Structure 1
Amino acid sequence: MKISAPLSVKTLLAAGLLFAAGHAAAQQVLRVSAIPDEAPTELQRKFKPLGEYLEKKLNMKVEFTPVTDYAASVEGLVGNKLDMVWFGGFTFVQANHRSKGQVVPLVQRAEDEKFRSVFITTSKDINKLDDLKGKTLSFGSESSTSGHLMPRSFLLAAKINPDTDLKRIAFSGAHDATVAAVSGGKVDAGALNISVWEKLVGEKKVDTGAVRVFHTTPGYYDYNWTVRADMPAETKKKITEAFLALDIKNPQDKVILDLQRASKFIPTKAENYTSIEAAARNAGLLK
């Protein structure tokens, strides 16, 4: 049976168009995740209104997928399984390092320009960092900026080596778990993100008569929303504009911003995180 060349070309063109259309449709989903610095249910609760807002602004489906640990959030973005991730400063540095600069931080909360960590305790004998010598301390996740890297960095700056000067260090895995470890008497002290601490205090989920802050660190750059560098420029622009358009004076936007513990979002850039990269290298946590 003879098949004419024009028919064959038409068939191939049609198949190609169908494939392209299917591929374009497949791209109409923004796959989002976040470092698991709080319980998965809390992360999903916080993201739901933001996800619905982004769907309207971007005119595409937005799917939030929780990850098991901080490393999984990095590998998910670098390995093209995720399109956008809420990173801490250190996890952004890790992703940037792993991808050889193929990730781009778009926005951060205004609060992330001068983020801080707090050290908490139930012990009356601990009132300054030097009092931690010989005591037990819990960090959050090993890859946490505000729950490990920066608290460790400030301890080292105060001439306290957590690995040799403390009796024992532990990693709780998340900021709220650190509070639970301290309040439950599992460790003498803990270090965590000031934002989560203030949220737990505000929600009366911590007994401030028993657990108290004894040290607050200086400010540093922290969290941001990061995407892969190969994301279409137009999509990056729309995402950035959507975040920057959130206005706390608008009741619907205020719900989103309050859940994100933000007054507003502002643009950010990779250069903002060079001090965190330096801290990570100095602590031997980035090789």
Structure 2
Amino acid sequence: MLPALVRKLVLGGCALAIAASAVAMDPRYRDADGDLVADLPADPKQWVDPATLVFAYTPVEDPAVYAKVWEDFLKHMERVTGKRVQFFPVQSNAAQIEAMRAGRLHVAGFNTGSNPLAVNCAGFVPFAMMASMDDRYGYEMEIITAPDSGIQRVEDIRGKKMAFTSETSNSGYKAPSALLREQFGMEAGRDYEPVFSGKHDNSILGVANRDYPAAAIANSVKLRMEARGVVTPAQTRVIYRSQTFPTTGYGHAHNLKPELAAKIREAFFSYDWTGSALAREFNAAEPPQEKFMPITFKEHWAVVRDIDSAMGVSYACK
């Protein structure tokens, strides 16, 4: 579980004093109840009740692999909602956010770092997160290197390339950038060369194959890749591990018909993971991910919004 959410960010013992998180929801949305997510439109004519629900999982790894992983769950959602459900393979966080903003995406799992952008720019309403049976959840940001890279500590990255995933990623960019600047006095472009791999698995494979001297990644992705035999634990070495962050947030578009939105929530919380492809893929995490637990964006993403404040991230929609 995360520690108490206070107005400072703690990364591996380094406290970063920051200002209160700013909220900049797009003018097309309203938040009258102060829960920091878009309200259902007051006019029922603006409610959406599509014949086919489109679902997208965060683009951290090969979409073809995850289409099979999610297949049984999406069939369950079809039974609960009475709708056809289509898996939509997205190639980037930006494409996923734009799809929901444009009304082409109805249900999604957005990664940790892109959740605030999806909420503020696309009307995303997160309500669930994977967790263990005893409600433990989350992952850590790790900075990894190859065992024979010559990098023994974070300071040794100075003068070398540092791989990030994308600028919207919490563990793949925002948290490690804040850490390198605040705790180690290292600025991108001056003290190290930032490169972007696009996805966590690309960064992990890049370190394992000696393409990158070091990389910032989500250790949950690395554990799943190790469980599938894509990489071995011996191919990477951890030189920094953060405290725990929330993992992928699952939710729906704000303007779905209320009865449909309720059925979508029911599908998540009534799904039996026993023997499922989801269980085979996500039980390998630590803590194991064995169910969907209820969450709120206001509470569970406070630490992520604090990192964004520390980094000067804007939620302005382009």
Matched residue type, 2:309: R
Give the conservation status (yes or no) of the 8 Å contact 1:240–1:267. no
SS in structure 1 opposite 2:233? Answer: coil
Match of residue 307, structure 2, among 273, 279, 285: 279
- The Cα shift of 1:199 comes to 1.4
Q: TM-score, structure 1 length as denominator?
A: 0.81
Partner in structure 2 of residue 256 of structure 1? 278
Give the conservation status (yes or no) of the 8 Å contact 1:89–1:145. yes
Q: TM-score, structure 2 length as denominator?
A: 0.74
- The Cα shift of 1:162 comes to 4.3
Unaligned segments of structure 1, at least 5 residues: 1-23
> Aligned-residue CA RMSD in angstroms?
2.4
* Higher Cα Rg, which structure: 1
Structure (1 or 2) with the greater helix fraction: 1
Deviation track 1:207-257 (CA, whole Å, cap 9, x = no partner) reads: 433322222211112311121111122222222222122344x33xx4333
SS in structure 2 opposite 1:41? Answer: helix
The percent identity for this pair of structures is 22
Provide the rounded CA distance (Å) in 1 between the counterparts of 2:166 and 2:219.
15
Matched residue type, 2:294: P
SS in structure 2 opposite 1:85? Answer: strand
SS in structure 1 opposite 2:64? Answer: helix
Give the conservation status (yes or no) of the 8 Å contact 1:142–1:173. no
Partner in structure 1 of residue 216 of structure 2? 191
Unaligned segments of structure 2, at least 5 residues: 1-46, 284-288
- The Cα shift of 1:41 comes to 1.3
Relative to structure 1, the CA distance from residue 42 to residue 166 in structure 2 (aligned partners, 3 Å threshold; closer, same or farther) is farther
SS in structure 2 opposite 1:116? Answer: strand
Q: List structure 1 segments (4+ residues) > 4 angstroms apart after TM superposition.
A: none
Return the structure number with greater relative CO, CA threshold 8 A, min gap 6: 2
Partner in structure 2 of residue 202 of structure 1? 227
Provide the rounded CA distance (Å) in 2 between the counterparts of 1:47 and 1:75.
22
- The Cα shift of 1:124 comes to 5.0
Partner in structure 1 of residue 126 of structure 2? 105
Superposed, 1:53-72 pairs within 5 Å as: 53-72=76-95
Give the conservation status (yes or no) of the 8 Å contact 1:133–1:160. no
Q: Find out whether 1:115 has 2:139 as its counterpart.
A: yes
Match of residue 293, structure 2, among 249, 266, 269: 266
* Corresponding pairs, count: 259
Provide the rounded CA distance (Å) in 1 between the counterparts of 2:314 and 2:137.
22
Partner in structure 1 of residue 69 of structure 2? 46
- More displaced 10-residue stretch of structure 1: 120-129 or 213-222: 120-129
Provide the rounded CA distance (Å) in 2 between the counterparts of 1:162 and 1:207.
31
Partner in structure 2 of residue 137 of structure 1? 162
Provide the rounded CA distance (Å) in 1 between the counterparts of 2:180 and 2:74.
38
- The Cα shift of 1:125 comes to 3.0
- The Cα shift of 1:40 comes to 2.0
SS in structure 2 opposite 1:217? Answer: strand
Give the conservation status (yes or no) of the 8 Å contact 1:116–1:194. yes
